[in-house]
Chain A
Amino acid sequence: MSETPEPQETETSAPRNVIEVRDLVTHYGDRMILKGISMDVHADEIMVIMGGSGSGKSTLLRHLMALEHHTSGTMRILGQDIDELNNVELVDLRQKLGVAFQGGALFSSMTVGENVMLPLFEHTKLDRKTMEIMTRMKLQVVELGGFENLMPSELSGGMIKRAAFARAIVMDPKILFCDEPSAGLDPVVASQLDDLILLLRDALGMTVVVVTHELDSAFKIADRITVLDRGEILFIGTPDELRASDNQRIQNLLNRVAEDDTMDAETYLNRLTGDEPAYRPL
């Protein structure tokens, strides 16, 4: 870790960016999903990504984690242009990124502790004892101290999410990515997860990128919010700026107005007849 230059040393603008995306275009098969995204994520901020279902939030998140190939555009993550990295350097980079995915599942055949410890097993040569202590420390942080020997089936939904967070931060990532961390949780438990995200940022100085549908959660935790709309950026700014926006689509989002499917008649006809490219697996 110590030999990799920190973005601080290469980045002169203030605030310091841990992620810089320019004109990012991505496809699944022939279908363009992200249509020219440019955005920065500042060090130590909580950036929330919002937008309708299918707008490309999860896709963008996977790109920000250097997990997918893009068609064009550039991406710098922690100061490194990912197109210039070889496979070993990519693996190194990904180790500095923590992930709590949509679903956030634990492996049901392993104990909670083994689940949390897994990234350490896979990516480090630390002594077993060190790994065990790190695991217990991170379980303590998410208020699951002493739960390491239970099986996931013995935990509640909220506890499973918190354990997944403990796993996501077990390697002390520089950036933590969360895709709908509170999906399917009751509001009280969801709000505890929000508090946890704030704590991690404040106490560990992590940068956090969160995809969420929950407006309350977004306004509570976000320093800035990015709104995606059909693969394009509709808005980037602070929660206050978002509230003040007079853009109709943003107001619809804020007021939870369901939008008409605005696919035009010709596209619809072409899709039904198979002339509009359907997406296929990569």
Chain B
Amino acid sequence: MKHEVKEAGASVVVAFEGDIDLQTSPAAREALLEAVGMGKPVVVDLAAVSYIDSSGVASLVEALQTAKKGGQDLTLAAVSDGAMRVLKLARLDAVFTIHDSVDDAV
């Protein structure tokens, strides 16, 4: 897994690439919390994520909660079908704001 952080408008975009799984989710978590720490709205770009397991989803949940506590937005963009199924099963599709693309989100 790789990730890239860039600023787009008033937001910070964290774009992940590859698999977010038990091995890589600690790094994803760190990247997410760091982005939230920048104090701006955060958009998580999942377009290039082929697989996300529940440790990855848990990291998203923690980042969302941290953002909310700081009065910030954290939204998801370009969620794949597989990731969407994982979110739905845990009833998280209603918890996250999900955009079709990063352009829609920023």
Binding site for B on A (CB under 8 A): 1-2, 124-127, 129-131, 133-134, 137-138, 140-141, 170-172, 199, 203-205
Contact = CB atoms under 8 A, between A and B. Distances in A.
Contact of A126 (B22, B86, B92): B22
A140 B91 contact: yes
Given A133-B58, A137-B54, A138-B54, A203 B88 contact: yes
A203 B91 CA distance: 12
A141 B45 CA distance: 26
A35 B24 CA distance: 42
B62 A171 contact: no
Nearest to B50: A2
A23 B14 CA distance: 51
Contact of A134 (B24, B55, B89): B55
Contacts of A204: 85-86, 89
Interface of B: 1, 18-19, 21-26, 29, 53-55, 57-59, 61-62, 82, 85-86, 88-92
B59 A130 contact: yes
A134 B58 contact: yes
Contact of A1 (B23, B26, B54, B58): B23
A203 B24 CA distance: 23
Contacts of A125: 26
A203 B57 CA distance: 15
B53 A130 contact: no
B17 to A, nearest CB: 12
Contacts of B23: 1-2
Given A130-B29, A133-B58, 8 more contacts: A2-B21, A124-B22, A124-B55, A133-B61, A137-B90, A137-B92, A172-B53, A203-B89
A141 B54 CA distance: 12
A140 B87 CA distance: 12
6 contacts: A1-B21, A2-B18, A134-B54, A141-B89, A172-B53, A203-B85
Given A1-B19, A2-B21, A126 B85 contact: no
A176 B106 CA distance: 40
A131 B29 CA distance: 12
Contacts of B86: 203-204
